[in-house]
Amino acid sequence: MRIVQIVFSPTGGTQRVADLITGAWGLPVTQFDLSDPAAGCTELQLDSQDLVLIAVPSFGGRVPALAIKKACLVRKECELYI
């Protein structure tokens, strides 16, 4: 089992929170930074045992459009826990 961090954090605040959460679990962490301008739309290879943390800031209850565009998380089978 591993943890996959999918984070959009242009100022670093959301990344710090994601690191605190995933660090508490003591498992290997794979990071995917949506705020990196050089990062393209990469297909994530997920295993059924992976735990995925998606962390994005919200502004007035809205997620930045760039974060959604770069996430490319369509057609993934997953269970969502909020």
> Partners of 65 in the beta sheet?
none
User: What is the rounded average pLDDT of the residues 3-28?
Assistant: 92
* Residue-wise DSSP of the chain: --EEEEE--SSSHHHHHHHHHHHTTTS-EEEEETT-TT---PPP---TT-EEEEE---BTTB--HHHHHHH--TT-------
pTM over 0.85: no
Residue 11 has pLDDT above 80, yes or no: yes
Residue 41 has pLDDT above 60, yes or no: no
Q: Where are the domains of the chain?
A: 3-71
